[in-house]
A and B are shown apart, each in its own frame.
Chain A
Amino acid sequence: MERVGITETGRAIAYIKDGLEEINMISETHVDTVTIDITEDQRIYEFPHNMIKILDIRCKNHLNTKDEYRSIPRLIGNIVNKDADGN
């Protein structure tokens, strides 16, 4: 705070938080991994609460039989077969 000449703590913290987010948008300095259970017939899943940017989505046994996690592609277009909840 002394280096930027600001005395209002709340304002400084808000800007620091913005800056940390901006740094992580440009250059991934803090990376985490989380695993989520796949539930039969459930199509929609939530992103982690503290996520800023997604780096990769991998699925177990995607194009392999060795229980490996492999990156899955983003599908472009409309999937005609809808879920029970309309998604």
Chain B
Amino acid sequence: MATSKEYGYQIKGNKFAIVEKDVTSLADGLNYTHSEGDGLGITSGDTIYKSPLSSIANGIQLEYVYSPEYYYNTDSLTGTNKWSIDGWIIVDEYLTFVQGYPNGAFNFGGGVVSADEYILVKNSSRWNGVHKVQATENGATDSSVYSGIKTYTKVSAANYKYFTGDPNVTSTTIGVNAQLFEVGDYVWQSAGVTDNIGLYRVSAITDLGGAGLMDILTLDIRVHNKVSQKYSTEDQESAVSMTADSSGTTYVYQAFRESPTTHIVTGIDVLSDESDTIDLPSYLSKALVYYVKGRLMEDQLDIKGKEYFMREFQRMVEKHESSKVTGPRQLMSGNSAIR
């Protein structure tokens, strides 16, 4: 049986912090420590909030509102317009999605999506929403620099770990610049032998010397699609068994693994001209007309006109909101209410 936990959150700028109450009970029952030499200190337990005490798969569920600036067929079919992704990397400061296959990377360039088209990312911990494709690279060739879908979405590459150089690959190891990666990192290897292209986890590092020399990364897990279902939207892991390689060039990127259900949807119709469809109820479409009129009035410095149209916009949106409420209402008691 799972253990009961107690979490809380705080907003930190454009991010949020999750903390967990450490309910470890100490013998003295105090929420502070005190010793003659050290003075007052923070206890390790007894209702102190701290960073999560254990890893939980799919532990946080966020419910949020997004803007429908695109339209897509909700009956997405796996292998037709719905494709799994294992993680993302940063290429030239641009967000790039990658997908492993048991023998090499998935071929995103093979008719899945083309440059300047849009993809919709779903179930990602960070990148949900629409992204414009800059280029795709066929992972089935050994000259692929990144073997994935490169988007126009900019990502800060500060402290990003990346290596390119002569390949030094054995069955379970890759050689890279010294002191780049850490145990537990995921790496995406591209180019070199085609079968080796994929997402791996670093399990150990052998330091061969100081800066400028090589470190040997030992890899223990390879993440990829299910062998029997090429387009599966659930990835799986297997033991690492690469082909030895020491010629040409290799590219090793720090990779950020996504959840097994993260996928992209292709064939996205993004609002770009008059022929596009806006996924909005017809009543709200009329409200939207009022909004645009209001903004045009504002541009012409007709504040009276702007106020009129914005008031109509607000009125229609609120009327639409209340139109969904029916029947008697009842207040629920909270979970801490007295019985």
Q: Please tell me if the beta carbons of B18 and A38 are within 8 angstroms of each other in the complex.
A: yes
Contacts of B52 in A (CB 8 A): 38-43
Contact of A29 among B51, B69, B123, B281 (CB under 8 A): B281
A4 touches which of B6, B50, B289 (Cβ 8 Å): B289
Are A34's CB and B51's CB within 8 A? Answer: no
CB contacts (< 8 Å) of B157 on chain A: these are: none
Interface string of B248-260 (1 = CB under 8 A from A): 0000000000010
| A3/B289 in contact, CB under 8 A | yes
Which of A32, A44, A51, A61 sits near B17, CB closer than 8 Å?
Answer: A44
A binding-site residues for B, Cβ under 8 Å? 1, 3-6, 9, 12-13, 15-67, 69, 72-75, 79-81, 83-84, 87
CB within 8 Å for A61 and B3 given contacts A39-B55, A74-B9, A79-B19: yes
Provide the residues of chain B in CB contact with A84, threshold 8 Å.
51
Q: A23 — which chain B residues lie within 8 A by C-beta?
A: 280, 284, 287-288, 291, 317
Residues in A neighbouring B60, C-beta threshold 8 A: 35-38, 45, 57-60
A20 lies within 8 A of B69 (CB): yes
Given contacts A24-B65, A44-B12, contact A59 B18 (CB under 8 A): yes
A54 touches B62 (CB 8 A): yes
Task: Please indicate the chain A residues that have their CB under 8 angstroms from the CB of B59 in the complex.
Answer: 35-38, 59-60
**Contact across chains for A69 and B54 when beta carbons are under 8 A apart:** no
B130 within 8 A of A: yes
**Range class of the B interface residue count:** 35 or more
Say yes or no: A30 contacts B65, CB within 8 Å.
yes
The minimal Cβ–Cβ distance linking A41 to chain B, given in whole angstroms, is 5
Q: Are B15 and A44 in contact (CB under 8 A)?
A: yes
B1 in contact (CB, < 8 A): yes
Contacts of A74 in B (CB 8 A): 8-11
A19-B291, A24-B65, A32-B64 given as contacts; is B2 within 8 A of A49 (CB)?
no
Residue in contact with B61 in the complex, picked from A1, A33, A75, CB distance below 8 Å: A33
Taking CB atoms, residues of chain B closer than 8 Å to A39 are 52, 55
Binding-face segment, B137-145, B225-233, B268-276: B268-276
**Within B199-252, which residues are at the interface with A (CB < 8 Å)?**
none
A59 touches B61 (CB 8 A): yes
Tell which of A4, A27, A38, A55 has the most Cβ of chain B within 10 Å: A38
Q: With contacts defined as CB atoms under 8 Å apart, how many contacts are there between chain A and chain B in the complex? A: 273
Other than the given A34-B62, A49-B126, 20 more pairs (CB < 8 A) read: A1-B274, A16-B271, A22-B313, A33-B61, A33-B62, A34-B123, A35-B125, A36-B61, A37-B57, A37-B58, A43-B17, A45-B18, A48-B129, A56-B62, A57-B60, A61-B4, A66-B2, A67-B2, A69-B61, A73-B9
Q: Which residues from A are CB-within-8-Å of B9?
A: 57, 72-75
Contacts of A51 in B (CB 8 A): 62, 64-66, 128
Verify B293–A4 contact, CB threshold 8 A.
yes
Residue pair A48, B124 in contact (C-beta under 8 Å): yes
Q: Name which residue of chain B comes closest to A67, CB basis.
A: B2
Give, as a whole number of angstroms, the nearest-CB distance from A65 to chain B.
5
Contact status B288-A63, CB under 8 Å: no
Chain A residues with Cβ below 8 Å from B54 are 38, 40
A55 touches B17 (CB 8 A): no
Cα of A29 to Cα of B69 in the assembled complex, Å: 12
- List, in ascending order, chain B residues with CB within 8 A of A43's CB: 17-19, 51-52
- In the assembled complex, the CB of A50 is this many whole angstroms from the nearest CB of chain B, namely 3
B308 CB-CB contact with A under 8 Å: no
Given the interface pairs A16-B278, A81-B49, the reply to whether A62 lies near B128 with Cβ below 8 Å is no
- Closest chain-A Cβ to B12's Cβ sits at a distance in Å of 6
Name the residue on B nearest A28 (C-beta): B65
* CB <8 Å contact, A60 and B58: yes
Q: Are B5 and A59 in contact (CB under 8 A)?
A: yes
Question: B155 to nearest A CB, angstroms?
Answer: 11
